Amino acid sequence: MLFNSFDFVFFFLIVGCITLLLNRMRKVQVRNAFLLLSSYIFYGSFNICFLSILLFITIVTYIGGLCLNKVSNKKLLTGFVVILSLLPLFTFKYSYFLLYEALRLPLAPDWTAGLILPVGISFFTFQALTYTIDLYRGKIECCKNIIDYSLFVSFFPTVLSGPIEKARNLMPQLKKPQSVSLNDVMTGVSFFAWGLFKKTVIADRLSQYVDWAYSSAEYVSGGTLALAVVFYSIQIYCDFSGYSDMAIGTARCIGIRLSNNFNFPYFSTKIKDFWRKWHISLTSWFTEYVYFSLGGNRVKMKARWIFNISMVFLLSGIWHGAAWNFLLWGVIHAMLYLSEYAVGLHKKEHRYMNLLQKSIAGCCVFLLVSFAWVFFRIDDISTIFMVFSKIASASLFDVMPGASTMTFAINLLLLMLFGGCEIIMYRNREDGDAVMSRDTTALYGWICSLLLMTALFGCSNNSFVYFQF
């Protein structure tokens, strides 16, 4: 049941209406029980067997939370709960890579061959761990209501691909009735429509060109591959931020405010700024629970700070996938981040830059990030270097249109339209919301325009890129 499917629209119309009714009746426990059942139906629609993993993580962290205030050695118990919670993630996602790729153990038969990665496991595992760690640190109180806690872990807008919500942000909202205005619903619908547009009209259309170019990398020109690099950078942004927008919009319609997960990252003028604006919930998770735990920037030795930064990026790369290309992607971003500090670019404040300086810096950051995405997209190292060598060739300006010239031209026009909308929304951003307009009439027109464009130019109901993580 994908967000970009009619099945989900039908599902949410029923769930949303009943939830709004229960909110008005102030039946919090009934509402939460209903949302929990709906979340399990939503997640189970992908594979009913995956529910066992979700339930395991929920029960382990819930019981661990109940026991935490009753034991003397809280650190030991917290460590045990964290390890036990990470066990399914390690088994399904990393066991093959560690045993057969990293350690090269001569084990036979391959016991990992039949394992299927449960969708969203990295997201709901990390979300559950925020509760355990925050409880240990005394930032939240223990949740004794298992329905409320289970809903926090499995809330259907976030369970598949985030945003990764912290317990102290989401759980208080789930424990009280939410007042939902017409403006909340319209804002939620606008978020959903914009995310749907980014996914089906931009990301899915660009994916056709990117898939064709990379699958034919040996035969296409360097210019074609260079354009595929740029297109993929836009594709993955529209795909993932599109999902986040739809999740935020869905939750907003029923009175729940989720954290902003993207803040126009491609308008960044520094790599440091890019990581403050890209996948914000994951960056925040690693910053708070890994970087600060290692000492952050409060350490005395510069070498230790470099280690802390590098560890965050390495773990971020590994979080995305158990493969060498993801590890290299993390290494590249660590090097880019540290290089900015080495040459003093981090001292250059954005507000003191003129328009030309901002444009040049923004283009440089976008190109650096785009070429790093090649390591993210292609899992074969030899193919990656072949792509770079062809891009560096004399055929750089020889661009093949792909399927047809007309389709290629339409894609470029849609990209120009998308870019213009992004600029307007960037200028109108306020309180974490990036909307085209706050005027009710204009908002109606904006939603209708997006839905019409999606109906005319939307491609398919392809799965979201981040579902594989």
Q: Show Cβ contacts of residue 34 under 8 Å, excluding neighbours closer than 6 positions.
A: 15, 18, 19, 22
Stretch 396-401: mean pLDDT: 79
Q: What is the DSSP letter of 252?
A: H
What is the tens place of the pLDDT at every residue in 8-55?
999 999 999 999 999 988 889 999 999 999 999 999 998 898 999 999
Whether 439 has a pLDDT exceeding 90, the answer reads: no
Stretch 225-248: mean pLDDT: 95
Q: CA-CA distances (angstroms) from residue 219 to 69, 158, 214?
A: 63, 41, 10
Whether 359 has a pLDDT exceeding 90, the answer reads: no
Number of other CB atoms surrounding residue 88 within 10 Å: 18
Q: Confidence band (pLDDT; 50, 70, 90) for 330?
A: very high
φ, ψ for residue 319 (rounded to 5)? -55, -35
Q: Read out DSSP for 303-337?
A: HHHHHHHHHHHHHHHHHH-SSHHHHHHHHHHHHHH
What is the tens place of the pLDDT at every residue in 130-143?
999 999 999 999 99
* Pairwise CA distance, residues 155 & 124, whole Å: 9
* Pairwise CA distance, residues 354 & 356, whole Å: 6
Is the previous residue joined to 172 through a cis bond, with omega within 30 degrees of 0? Answer: no
Q: What is the pLDDT of residue 147?
A: 96
Q: Counting every residue, how long is the chain? A: 469
- For the chain, the average pLDDT equals 89
Q: What is the DSSP letter of 291?
A: I
Contact 384, 372 (CB under 8 A): no
Distance separating the N- and C-terminal Cα atoms of the chain = 17
Share of the chain above pLDDT 90, in %: 62
Question: SS3 of 275, please?
Answer: helix
Q: What is the pLDDT of residue 109?
A: 53
Q: Where are the domains of the chain?
A: 6-179, 183-269+348-468
- Report how many helices (DSSP H) and strands (DSSP E) the chain contains, helices first: 19, 0
Q: What is the pLDDT of residue 236?
A: 96
Share of the chain above pLDDT 70, in %: 92
Q: What is the pLDDT of residue 233?
A: 96
What is the tens place of the pLDDT at every residue in 56-102?
999 999 999 999 988 889 999 999 999 999 999 998 888 877 777 66
Whether 110 has a pLDDT exceeding 70, the answer reads: no
* Pairwise CA distance, residues 202 & 414, whole Å: 7
* Both structure tokens of 194: 């914009």
Contact 270, 352 (CB under 8 A): no
